[in-house]
């Protein structure tokens, strides 16, 4: 059924009413390059440990592969533009840096609630629509679809860039059997700018528009479960959950007004500039309490403490030595190993002393390898 232009206009107005900053429509077959680019990226192993991307690649290749009945895709963006400089904590070693998007309410809950409300409105308006809503947890290629729907374009950092909202958009999608009037696809306006690539602390962009997730701090702190590879630890600085560097430097962010951001994503005080000493003291119960209602809760206590230990090792703060020593006997091997490295960075003498008493009793081979390293120094020798 072909719907008229007025429905699209009312749809956009309703989306704004529900808290979305951007709304557009694309045909279900409007992103034909997605399949080939995805297969190449997966074939080169750039997804790292994110096995689910490979396992359901056939569903990601096109909307119809996931739901054959889909005719149109409604792409939606919800702004989380920060009111403050997202790089402000870069030089504060005893504070942890949490990505802007994770400092407030869990976007999965906020965006999905609004998507469901919009889907219910659409069904009521048209009477004969079938719909499915998606936000980040299904095999949906939101960024190419959002580009096809005119919300923005995939920049050289591979994230969506909007003329109006910069790089600060959460994306969601509604698949529908309705044949809606499509919007004009967005045009790439990155030009010769390479600010995002230059800003990346771990050189995660082998070429423009291609991300090697295995080198990305967001991947390493969130998706990667094992020890952080040695070559990236110093570059992580005090980033403990995600990384905003490539987004924050995008020139298009000058048009992203914080006033347009959904208030649900306003930063919680305890997550805006958390003290590493406090986070290092968390047990499982404490972790769940601090990060209740936050997307951070999904990584679990052990991975977060691992990240905080790497940040502590980079801090140069002698006051963190004792909290680190307290974690050398942690039940989780990934925590013990990170604690070994962090101690060596901050206090070589204490590292040698603790090694002499702990190495013989260590049963985990990876942790034993950490003890076997020469005590690393903050300047990077031994990394």
The length of the chain is 383
Strand 153-154 and strand 22-27: pairing? Answer: unpaired
CB-neighbour burial class of residue 96 (10 A; exposed 0-12, middle 13-18, buried 19+):
buried
Please answer whether residues 241 and 299 qualify as being in contact, where contact means their C-beta atoms are separated by less than 8 angstroms: yes
Separation CA 354–CA 336 (nearest Å): 12
The gap between the terminal CA atoms of the chain, to the nearest Å, is: 62
> Which pair of structure tokens corresponds to residue 86?
């997202």
Query: Mind telling me the catalytic residues?
Result: 136
Separation CA 238–CA 311 (nearest Å): 4
* Whole-number Cα distances in Å, 220 to 57, 82, 128, 232, 291: 22, 23, 45, 9, 19
The Cβ of residue 293 has, within 10 Å, a number of other Cβ atoms equal to: 11
Q: What is the CA radius of gyration of the chain?
A: 23
């Amino acid at each position: 059924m072909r719907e008229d232009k007025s429905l699209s206009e009312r749809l956009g107005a309703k989306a704004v009413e529900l808290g979305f900053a951007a709304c557009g429509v694309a045909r279900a077959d409007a992103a034909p390059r997605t399949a080939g680019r995805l297969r190449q990226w997966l074939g080169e192993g750039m997804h790292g440990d994110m096995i689910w991307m490979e396992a359901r690649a056939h569903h990601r290749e096109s909307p119809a592969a996931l739901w054959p009945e889909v005719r149109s895709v409604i792409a939606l963006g919800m702004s989380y533009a920060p009111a403050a400089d997202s790089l402000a904590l870069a030089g504060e070693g005893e504070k942890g840096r949490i990505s802007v998007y994770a400092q407030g309410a869990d976007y999965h809950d906020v965006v999905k609630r609004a998507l469901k409300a919009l889907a219910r409105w659409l069904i009521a308006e048209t009477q004969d629509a079938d719909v499915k809503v998606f936000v980040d947890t299904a095999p949906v290629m939101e960024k190419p679809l959002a580009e096809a729907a005119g919300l923005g374009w995939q920049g050289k950092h591979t994230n969506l860039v909007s003329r109006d909202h910069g790089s600060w958009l959460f994306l969601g999608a509604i698949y529908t059997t309705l044949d809606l009037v499509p919007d004009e696809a967005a045009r790439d306006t990155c030009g010769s700018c390479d600010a995002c690539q230059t800003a990346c602390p771990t050189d995660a962009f082998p070429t423009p528009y291609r991300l090697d997730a295995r080198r990305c701090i967001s991947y390493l702190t969130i998706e990667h479960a094992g020890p952080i590879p040695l070559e990236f630890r110093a570059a992580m600085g005090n980033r403990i959950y995600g990384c905003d560097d490539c987004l924050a430097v995008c020139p298009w962010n000058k048009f992203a007004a914080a006033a347009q951001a959904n208030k649900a994503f306003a930063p919680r005080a305890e997550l805006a500039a958390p003290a590493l000493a406090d986070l290092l003291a968390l047990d499982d119960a404490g972790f769940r309490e601090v990060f209740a209602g936050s997307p951070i809760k999904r990584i679990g206590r052990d991975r977060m403490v691992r990240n905080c230990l790497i940040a502590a090792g980079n801090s140069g703060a002698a006051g963190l030595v004792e909290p680190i020593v307290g974690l050398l006997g942690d039940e989780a091997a990934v925590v013990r190993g990170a604690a070994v490295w962090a101690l060596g960075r901050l206090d070589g003498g204490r590292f040698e002393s603790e090694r002499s008493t702990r190495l013989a009793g260590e049963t985990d081979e990876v942790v034993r390898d950490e003890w076997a390293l020469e005590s690393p120094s903050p300047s990077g020798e031994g990394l």
